[in-house]
Structure 1
């Protein structure tokens, strides 16, 4: 591992319960600080103060705020992967529209906690090899599952279901990310209804 790669890695992997709790306090504090102050002003001093630990203790776990931001972004992607797997393992509605609504609602829920933090994660997090791998895994898993759903539903009229699956996944991700992080809030119910209607019409419209 190069020195450049190490700057984005945690320094300490907790092995005891107390150390793990401290790590979680740092991440929770960092999420609040980045949400409140943004990336530039979200300093390690502010993070340590919010976590109620010394700056020296923080540096035992993370070499800088970039490493903390990378771990927060990875956790966000892991949550998305877990949501896809949960849907895969669970019962799904019979209708295409209700299935799309389930996924849109899940994506919105996964992005509503800290809209300003989401903006920092999307725009400022370093694109490390670890994050790129997680992003590709999340995208591939989402597209594969969506393709399975499109193959299963007789209502779907698009001919190229693989491309359609990619368009659905990308549309939901980009629109939810954009609007969840937008400083001008949008009515969540209206957004959900419009996005579900748009995707349903696209997938069920007869070809030329």
Structure 2
């Protein structure tokens, strides 16, 4: 698919236009979550937003462009959460508490709309610009994890670069799978067990020095 077909048609500057664009994106999120990718048509999105189909096409050329925009927003929101924890001076002291905090943050970012996240990351097109955004988000989280592991004397993994990558990938992948199970009542158990698993991995193995 041509990248141009996935780019928004209009970059609004006036508040009224910004509000319209926001309503369309919010409506699309609801439609995709309820109906999935195939049945999440632009007609349904426009109707849900209370706008004409012509108004939708002023902002987005097709539903794939809307999906890419929603996925990009999700990636940027994830980066913002990490940056807020790192630079807000609110990180807990212990390694276990830090791990639990990041597991919980990942859960919170996924479980509000699990069906939407499934559509975004399993069915949506992934053009180069979106893949680059996702890679940048992952690199930011890996770099943050690397710094936290290096600063904690209880971490005994020799290869901190690999440990940071495994930490980020494990949280993202396992949280995504857990949310897909559709058992939110098990969230506390999942959070505790995943935290324990990661903590055991980081404190096992050969000393760094």
> Scaled by the length of structure 1, what TM-score is found?
0.95
Q: For each residue in 1:141-176, what CA deviation from the matched residue of structure 2 results, as whole angstroms up to 9, or x when unmatched?
A: 111110100011111011111100000000001111
Cα distance in 2, alignment partners of residues 150 and 184 from structure 1: 31
Are the aligned partners of 1:158 and 1:203 in contact in 2 as well (CA < 8 Å)? yes
Tell me the equivalent position of 2:64: 66
Matched, 1:37 2:35: yes
How far off is 1:4 after superposition?
Answer: 1.3
Residue of structure 2 aligned with 1:55, choices 50, 53, 56: 53
Corresponding residue SS for 1:187: helix
The equivalent of 2:74 in structure 1 is 76
Larger CA deviation: 74-83 vs 87-96: 87-96
For residue 10 of structure 1, what is the aligned residue in structure 2?
8
Structure 1: distance between partners of 2:6 and 2:183 = 32
Per the TM alignment, residue 184 of structure 1 is displaced from its structure 2 partner at its CA by 5.1
| Residue 87 in structure 1 maps to residue 99 in structure 2 | no
Tell me if 1:180 matches 2:193.
no
Q: Which runs of 5+ in 2 are unaligned?
A: none
Secondary structure of the corresponding residue to residue 140 of structure 2: helix
Give SS of 1:188's match. helix
**1:85-128: CA deviations, max 9, x gaps?**
11110221111000111111111111111110010011111111
SS of the residue corresponding to residue 14 of structure 1 reads: coil
- Contact kept, 8 Å, 2:37 with 2:124, in 1: the verdict is no
Kept in 2, the 8 Å contact 1:118–1:181? The answer is no
Count of matched residue pairs: 206
Alpha-carbon RMSD across the aligned residues, in angstroms, is 1.4
Contact 1:12 1:60 in 2 (8 A): yes
Distance in 2 of aligned mates of 1:89 and 1:26: 33
Tell me if structure 2 keeps the 8 A contact 1:39–1:124.
yes
Match of 2:161, SS state, is helix
Identify the structure with the greater helix proportion: 2
Shift of 1:185: 4.7
Matched, 1:101 2:127: no
Find the aligned partners of 1:180 and 1:76 in 2 and give their Cα distance.
Answer: 16
- 1:182 is displaced (CA, Å) by 3.1
Query: SS of 2:6's equivalent?
Result: coil
Structure 1 unaligned runs (5+)? none
